[in-house]
Each structure stands twice: as C-alpha cells, then as structure tokens.
C-alpha cells in the first residue's frame, strides 16, 4: 500500500503578510490508497442532472438555503465534472477566494476546489471529490476567516491545525494525504460547507456577537432580493456553550 503525506506550512514574514510559502509545492501524485473503511456509501449518489451548471457560476450568499443542502456523492467522473471544477476555480479567483465548495455555487454535490495562494497560475490547484476526514489533530489554532458566501465578514475561528484526508481526484482515483497550516484550514472550511456547516457556527458566542449585525444585514438583503422571508435568522439561534464539534482525533 502506498501512502501520501503532504505537509504545507505558512511562514509569517510580518504580522501583515498575506503571502503563503509552501515547503513542498506540489501535491504527491494522486496515489491510490486502498484504505479499509473508506466509504461514502451512506450518501445519496448524484445524477448527471445534479451536476448541470451554467457558466459563469455565481456565488450563493447566506442565508440562501442552498448552503444547507444535503450534498450528494459524485459517482460520474466525466468531462462535465472537470469543467465544473475549472469554472469553480475561475469564480474563486475572480472573487478573491482561496477555496470554494460546490454548494456555494448552488450545486449540491461533494466537490471542493482550493488554492491557498489564491492566484491563478501560482501555487497548487487542488480538487477533492467526496472527501472524508480520517483524523483531526488535537492541536487547534485560531485564524481570522472570511467566506465568499458572507462578503466582507471576517472573524476568528478555532480549528484543528492538521487533518488526514481520504478523497477522490477529478478522475475518480482514491488517495489519502495530510495537510497542515493554511491548506488544512481552507480544506476544513470547505469540508464544512459540504456538510452544510457555516463558519459562524464555529465561532464563540463573543466572536459571533461582533458579526451579528452583518449577518442580519445579509438576511435583510436576501429578503429584499427574493421577496421571501429569510430561511434562517441569527437572532433565533439559541446560544450554545460549545461551537459545532469536529470528528475523530
Ligand atoms: C481561511 S478559509 C477561507 C476559504 C473561503 N472559501 C470559501 O468561502 C475563502 O476563500 N474566503 C475568502 C474571503 C478568503 O479567505 N480570501 C483570502 C484571499 O483574498 C483573504 O485573505 O481574505
Ligand atoms: Fe465559505
């Protein structure tokens, strides 16, 4: 059995730097790993119609219910899937993103793309299909996160520093690898989207309090644009002692 370990790290040059350097610039060959227990069997399989899209893609904003959809497992690894991944990178770069999940463009399937450098032609473009996390590190870190579905909103989110992932590539090949630092952060943010979890659900009550009005402004914008009541309201959210949890560590 071949195993792939991929470790990236973010070097801080100054407290203001937004430049990410990678200790290892390329992902390993998308090595097939026959991993016992790797199964996405529980989730409904996507049909070709689920992956139909119109370019250019548009980013879906909170509180659109598409962000809470149950995302289907991809079973067809065809040219349409490759075009969707390409279009997702295009809209991600145009909107200054470093990662994007399919539900954020209104397609309810388990697909994410990311490039922590955030510039076309720089860094590494990673496409993950039906990803699963096999391990989260116990060590956590805090980062001021933004989300393309919450334009202009940034707040601190605590997450595990590294993760072990099982996924398929865009051709359907299974592979396993580890990420840490910023790539692990972006992966987890997108992985949450694939579970219908939004970043504010990982914030402390105190942090959430700081962005509550901005969330309400997005809810009002949605109501004005659609003419229907917001499907969720931050003011109706019950205060939680703990944020949404992570899986196995
Ligand atoms: C830190 S994980 C953020 C992932 C997120 N993806 C989808 O919602 C994303 O790309 N958010 C952007 C707002 C973002 O983080 N952009 C970078 C680069 O411009 C930033 O530093 O703001
Ligand atoms: Fe997001």
Rounded Cα distance between 152 and 6, Å, is 31
What is the pLDDT at residue 36?
Answer: 34
With a 6 A CB cut-off, is 103 part of the ligand 1 pocket? no
For the segment 138-150, what is each residue's pLDDT rounded down to a tens digit?
999 999 999 999 9
Nearest ligand, CA of residue 112?
1
- CB of residue 98 inside a 6 A radius of ligand 1: yes
Enter the ipTM: 0.99
User: What is the reported pLDDT for 3?
Assistant: 35
Phi-psi region of 116 (alpha: psi -120 to 50; beta: other; left: phi over 0): alpha
Other residues' Cβ atoms within 10 Å of the Cβ of residue 178 = 19
CB 98 within 8 A of CB 22: no
Q: What is the pLDDT of residue 16?
A: 23
Q: How far apart are CA 71 and CA 235, in angstroms?
A: 26
Q: How far apart are the first and last CA of the chain?
A: 23
Q: What is the pLDDT along the chain (249 residues), one digit of tens a residue?
A: 333 334 333 332 222 222 222 222 232 332 323 333 344 457 999 999 999 999 999 999 999 999 999 999 999 999 999 999 999 999 999 999 999 999 999 999 999 999 999 999 999 999 999 999 999 999 999 999 999 999 999 999 999 999 999 999 999 999 999 999 999 999 999 999 999 999 999 999 999 999 999 999 999 999 999 999 999 999 998 876 666 778 777
3-state helix vs strand vs coil in the chain, percent to 5: 30, 20, 50
Is 99's C-beta closer than 6 angstroms to any atom of ligand 1? yes
Q: pTM for this one?
A: 0.85
Residue 203 contacts residue 155 (beta carbons within 8 Å): yes
44 alpha carbon – ligand 2 mean position (Å): 23
Ligand 1 centre distance from Cα of residue 9 (Å): 17
Contact call for residues 76 and 46 (beta carbons, < 8 A): yes
Residue 245 is predicted with a pLDDT of 79
Least Cα distance to 30 among 173, 149, 160 occurs for 173
CB hemisphere CA count around 184 (13 angstroms): 28
Known catalytic residues?
A: 190
Closest ligand 1 atom to 182 CA = 1
CA angle 35, 99, 47 (to 5 degrees): 60
Question: What does the alpha-carbon distance between residue 219 and residue 28 come to, in Å, rounded to a whole number?
Answer: 42
189 lines ligand 1 (CB under 6 A): yes
- Residue 11 near residue 22 (C-beta atoms within 8 A): no
CA 86, 171, 53, 183 torsion: positive or negative? negative
User: Any idea which ligand is nearest the CA of 188?
Assistant: 1
Q: Residue 41: what pLDDT? A: 54
User: CATH: 3.30.360.10, 3.40.1110.10, 3.90.45.10, 3.30.70.890. Which one for 10-227?
Assistant: 3.90.45.10
């Amino acid at each position: 059995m071949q195993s792939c370990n991929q470790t990236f790290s973010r070097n801080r040059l100054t407290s203001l730097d937004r430049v990410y350097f990678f200790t290892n610039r390329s992902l390993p060959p998308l090595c097939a790993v026959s991993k016992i227990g790797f199964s996405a069997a529980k989730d409904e399989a996507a049909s070709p119609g689920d992956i139909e899209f119109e370019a250019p893609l548009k980013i879906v904003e909170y509180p659109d219910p598409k962000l809470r959809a149950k995302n289907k497992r991809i079973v067809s690894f065809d040219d349409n899937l490759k075009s969707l991944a390409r279009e997702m990178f295009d809209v991600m770069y145009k909107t200054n993103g470093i990662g994007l999940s399919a539900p954020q463009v209104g397609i309810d399937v388990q697909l994410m793309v990311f490039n922590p450098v955030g510039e076309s032609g720089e860094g590494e473009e990673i496409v993950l299909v039906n990803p699963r996390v096999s391990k989260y590190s116990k060590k956590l870190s805090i980062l001021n996160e933004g989300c393309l579905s919450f334009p202009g909103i940034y707040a601190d989110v605590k997450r595990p520093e590294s993760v072990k992932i099982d996924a398929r590539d865009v051709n359907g090949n299974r592979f396993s690898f580890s990420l840490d630092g910023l790539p692990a952060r972006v992966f987890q943010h997108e992985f949450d989207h694939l579970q219908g979890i939004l970043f504010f659900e990982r914030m402390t009550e105190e942090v959430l309090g700081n962005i509550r009005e901005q969330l309400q402004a997005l809810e009002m914008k949605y109501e004005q644009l659609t003419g229907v009541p917001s499907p969720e309201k931050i003011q109706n959210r019950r205060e939680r002692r703990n944020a949404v949890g992570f899986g196995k560590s």
